[in-house]
Amino acid sequence: MQRLIDLRSDTVTQPTEEMRDFMRSAIVGDDVYEEDPTVRELEMTVATLLGKESGVFVPSGTMGNLIAAMIHGRDKRSEIICGSDSHVARDEVGGMSAVAGVHTFQVPNLEEGRLDIDKVREAVLADADIHYSVPRAVFVETSHGNRGGRVPPLAHFEEIAAICRQRISNHVALHCDGARIWNAAAALKLSPADVARPFDTVTCCMSKGLGCPMGSVLCGPLSFVTEARWARKMLGGGMRQVGFMAAAGLYALKHNLPRIPDDHRRLSSMHTTLTAATAAKEGMNGAVTLSPVETNIMFVHTNNAANRDSVVTHCAKNGVLVGSWPGNAIRVVMNCNVDEEAAKRSTDVLTEGLLKYFSS
């Protein structure tokens, strides 16, 4: 029986036996009392990798971003500037307003996930006015999930950081939703610390490209992280003997982080094959277009939702799971459970489905 290949997300991965063995051997303690040595090791390891002073282990990236919003947006007049197509705006259940109590000022995300820099400048440097909320932070994202894993250039974030520093009346922080910052670093061929340098605070996921069962680390200055521990407890995120999960992160940073470029290479190869096959097939007439591939995410855009659904069903029947996405698209996410053979088989199955249902 063929093994199921799951390309819906990089969150669907199963821990390897080696990761499970490492988790079982972890030394644990009560993390609320800051007595879990494995958690402490993960927090400091990630903070060092990102060039930050300290870090706090949280159950999810969504909680990490929410905590950042609570701390940066510390009063009811606060405003956080973010992209209209960002994860924090679209995919975190409105937590910044519902829980953190801050207003979001959303500016357009451009093609590769960059923010409209003129709109950012206008929002950050707006004159103080009794009618306006007060900008406290800009939230950015790299790589950008809703833009197909695209990676904005580092210069873009450096420009935003410079704009934040220009506001005189109050500090405006720059926070990065770095759920896939490991992928961004691999794509840019930079160290994670180089990528994270423009940001005051950054959230990074263990459970996406690194293949861990759960967890993220929120990093920044020690004073910020100290407050973050209080906010985590307030949100119900205080965890006890959670070193077993932190151990998965330590294992992944040693063994899975170096292989992230393999995911990018395999997806790029799939992209090349699909592009050639759909271009060569008569009757396609632009019915299928592919997003550029920079990291481990690709969108297959189609012109027909019913046919798109047929392709998704065809793939599932042949042992390959891909994701249906808004706008008649299919999302493919390469991950650490997909080896060379599985990547080739999934490419063949997806190609077959697209040619079957989108050629006239």
Amino acid making up residue 254: K
For the beta carbon of residue 9, count every other beta carbon within 10 angstroms.
Answer: 17
Token look-up 């960059």 returns 114
- Under a CB-based contact definition with an 8 Å cutoff, are residues 144 and 181 in contact? no
User: What CATH class has 259-358?
Assistant: alpha beta
Q: What is the CATH number of domain 17-255?
A: 3.40.640.10
267: buried, middle or exposed (CB in 10 Å: 19+, 13-18, 0-12)? buried
263: buried, middle or exposed (CB in 10 Å: 19+, 13-18, 0-12)? buried
Residue ranges per structural domain of the chain: 17-255, 259-358
Say which residues have a Cβ less than 8 Å from residue 189's Cβ, sequence separation at least 6.
none
CA angle 153, 251, 270 (to 5 degrees): 50
Q: Is 314 helix (H, G, I), strand (E, B) or coil?
A: helix
Token look-up 């282990």 returns 57
User: Are the folds of 17-255 and 259-358 the same?
Assistant: no
Mean pLDDT by 10 residues, the chain (360 residues): 90 96 96 95 98 98 97 92 96 93 95 94 89 94 96 97 91 97 98 98 96 97 97 95 97 97 98 92 83 97 94 97 95 97 97 90
pLDDT tens column, 285-333:
788 999 999 999 999 999 999 999 999 999 999 999 999 999 999 999 9
3-state helix, strand, coil in the chain (%, to 5): 45, 20, 40
Q: Is 103 helix (H, G, I), strand (E, B) or coil?
A: strand
pLDDT of residue 67: 98
Gap between the Cα atoms of 259 and 24, Å rounded: 23
